Structure 1
Amino acid sequence: MGLSAYRAVCALVFLASAAVAPSVWAHAHLKQPTPAANSVVNAPQRITLAFSEGVEPGFSGVVITNAQQQVIKTGAVKRDEQDKALLIVPLEHALAAGTYQVDWHVVSVDGHKTKGSYSFSVK
């Protein structure tokens, strides 16, 4: 392979990686859930999910289930007014002792979708 062909291949690889990399980085990843994953806590009044970037609450959602797979009633999921990366999920009733799973899905402000889940326990 000649020097000019080698440079062309290198330039092409660079442009392809530069085009793909921003879309990989542009996803809202869960940074800090409260209660924390795998934690044992007193019954919380709400669940908060802090993401790596802003999220659209109208296209995002959270489902909380107990160990018997019963869905826990929550208030409307809303975004913190000062922090577009923080979702707040108010709980309608105090959680009883047991293990709970939080399943979430969000759409970041730039339109990318992510989802995940974690669990915590109430003492």
Structure 2
Amino acid sequence: MTRCGLFAALAFAGVCAIGSAFAHAYPQTATPAAGSTVQAAPHAVSIVFDDELEPKFSGIQVLNAKGARVDDGHAVVVPGNPRQMSVGLKALAAGTYKVMWHATDTDTHRTKGSYSFIVKP
């Protein structure tokens, strides 16, 4: 490999390393989906992220329209899938629900967000 080629390869590797060093965990999919209307009340909320999560520093809360929690308080990173987090739900009536999540990836970068879904039997 020429000196110029070696320099280019090292520069590319450095850029890739920097990009991964600044990674953050963001949702890729959610069930129920953001903004969705579901006919049957779900028993859990599940979110799949684009990076592995630190279980002790990640969580999900689900609130009803009055601001009361309707999740079971036990959000977990799914065993065998460190990119997925879920929380069980109490029995849900028809209405709008807000999902609030916070995620800390394995590089200790923290992200948070929220979305809503509607139960309309």
Normalised by the length of structure 2, the TM-score is 0.79
Q: How far did 1:61 drift?
A: 1.4
Pick aligned residue for 1:31 from 24, 28, 38: 28
1:84 is aligned to 82
2:49 is aligned to 51
- Bigger CA radius of gyration: 1
| Corresponding residue pairs, total | 107
2:102 is aligned to 105
Q: How far did 1:109 drift?
A: 1.4
| Structure 1 residues 68-90: Cα deviation after superposition (integer angstroms, max 9, x where no partner) | 11222414111111211000101
* Secondary structure of the corresponding residue to residue 21 of structure 1: helix
Q: How far did 1:66 drift?
A: 1.0
Q: How far did 1:27 drift?
A: 0.4
Q: Distance in 2 between matches of 1:40 and 1:58?
A: 31
Normalised by the length of structure 1, the TM-score is 0.78
Is 2:42 the partner of 1:22?
no
2:25 corresponds to which letter in structure 1? A
1:11 is aligned to none
Q: Distance in 1 between matches of 2:73 and 2:19?
A: 37
Q: How far did 1:104 drift?
A: 0.5
1:8 is aligned to none
2:116 is aligned to 119
In the alignment, structure 1 segments of 5+ residues that lack a partner are 1-13
Give identity over the alignment, percent: 41
| Structure 1 residues 49-74: Cα deviation after superposition (integer angstroms, max 9, x where no partner) | 10001101211111111111122241
Q: Distance in 1 between matches of 2:87 and 2:29?
A: 14
Is 2:53 the partner of 1:64?
no
